[in-house]
Amino acid sequence: MSTSRRQFLKMIGASAVIGLGGISAFEILQPGQFEASQLSKNPEALVGKRWGMVIDMKKLDNETMQKCIDACHRIHNVPNIDNPKEEIKWIWPETFEHAFPGMESKYMSEEIEHMQFLVLCNQCDNPPCVRVCPTKATFKRADGIVMMDMHRCIGCRFCMAACPFGARSFNWRNPRPFIKEENREYPTRMKGVVEKCTLCYERLAKGLKPACVEESNGALIFGDLDDPNSEIRKVLREHYTIRRKSELGTEPSIYYII
Amino acid sequence: MYNGGKIIIGLLIFVGLVITPFLFSGEKATAKPDPKVNTPEILKLPESERKCIESKEYMRSEHMKLLNQWRDWVVRDANALYTSTTGKQYKMSLQNTCMKCHSNKKDFCDQCHNYTAVKPYCWDCHIEPKEES
């Protein structure tokens, strides 16, 4: 009996239906495994559609900046390695010409030229690091946080090459000996993974603002950029702000008031 | 049989070599694991509350799958709470939930993992509880 094209297509359709049935049968045979209804968000968690930050350099002095940096590095077990080739940083000070290349001018105000700018991962809307990550260890969450899944990072460092802000650090060695005091509620990292600021996702889940924002005495404003009534949007409406390397089109979510 | 004596001696040596590992494996390697659940944190709980998030049998055979799921749910899907089959809610965290009760990694985790020669790399990053001795 020869098979006509029509019969063949019917057969394919039928086997697809049976195949789908097979999948659900497989799930029935493994009852009580993991169900989506078993998990939920913390009701206290902060929710937003596009988290962002405004850094008000008029209010941020060097001392507060250091406090922000220390708080972040302390709670996230960021090691303190002196060698600049191996150092790990999530949030750090940077000069104007390094933070905003192309914006400097010959006769710029000396105050701004010598100012230390607080820089961190820009939590880009269009993050190049996510695009290049072969294992999807770096990914963008629905709320705009560019996250690292340390379990999946293979240390290829494509993301470091892709990030135009140098916001990522590679662990060349086991970081544990370089952590003065471990925060026992947060993991460390291991040799061979890349790490960066994750906008304190673990604090947002508890309903707390990022650690640097909390330490900054109001110089750092954190909020939902997607909500026109939020505090951060009010600040953005009232002030002229700049972003780092906006010409590259990565759409950073960190704004600076100068 | 030609060279019967030599063959038999050879066979004996061969059998001896083959069974040496079994003869010399100390009691340690064959001692059955006996994970302890008598940490101060667990003993503090009232008798009726001394239960893991799921049944003992389930945890014994499936804890690795559960932990694997937890890490994806927390890190990738931003969910923080796990509702167990008894309806109780737990924060999904190895360091802050599991190990808070099971603060005896050596007597709890390592017992079985050593026995079955499983080396999970959880502790490369997650900080294990502080233990005496």
Question: Region B54-69: what's the mean pLDDT?
Answer: 91
CA atoms within 13 A on the CB side of A52: 24
**Mean pLDDT, residues A173-183 taken together:** 93
Contact between A34 and B125 using a beta-carbon 8 Å cutoff: no
Catalogue the long-range contacts made by A149-157 (C-beta closer than 8 Å, 24 or more residues apart).
Answer: A149/B75, A149/B76, A150/A187, A150/A189, A150/A190, A150/A193, A150/A195, A150/B75, A150/B125, A151/B71, A151/B75, A153/A193, A153/A194, A154/A192, A155/A192, A155/A193, A155/A194, A157/A194
Residue in B75, B80, B126 nearest the CB of A41: B80
Give me the pLDDT at residue B29, please: 57
Task: Name the residue among A142, A184, A206 with its Cβ closest to that of B127.
Answer: A184
The verdict on a CB contact (< 8 Å) between A39 and B73 is yes
| Model ipTM value | 0.77
pLDDT at position A188 is 95
d(CA A227, CA A50): 8
Count CA atoms closer than 13 A to A30's CA, side-chain side. 11
Residues of chain B in contact with residue A34, where contact means CB-CB under 8 angstroms, are 65-66, 69
Q: Does B57 reach chain A within 8 Å, measured CB to CB? A: no
Cβ–Cβ gap A45/B83 under 8 Å: no
Q: pLDDT tens for residues A104-157?
A: 888 989 999 899 999 999 999 999 999 999 999 999 999 999 999 999 999 999
Stretch (H or E) spanning B101: helix B99-101
**B78 closest CB neighbour out of A38, A186, A205:** A205
> Mean pLDDT, to the nearest integer, of A199-205?
94
Percent of chain B, pLDDT > 70?
Answer: 95
DSSP character string of B46-59: -GGG---SS-HHHH
Mean pLDDT of B14-42: 82
Tell me whether residues A186 and B66 touch, CB distance under 8 A.
no
Q: Is the pLDDT of residue B22 over 90?
A: no
Q: Which residues of B touch A33 (CB under 8 A)?
A: 65
- Residues A220 and A4: their CA atoms lie apart, in Å, by 70
The pLDDT assigned to A33 comes to 54
Confidence of residue B26 (pLDDT cuts 50, 70, 90): low
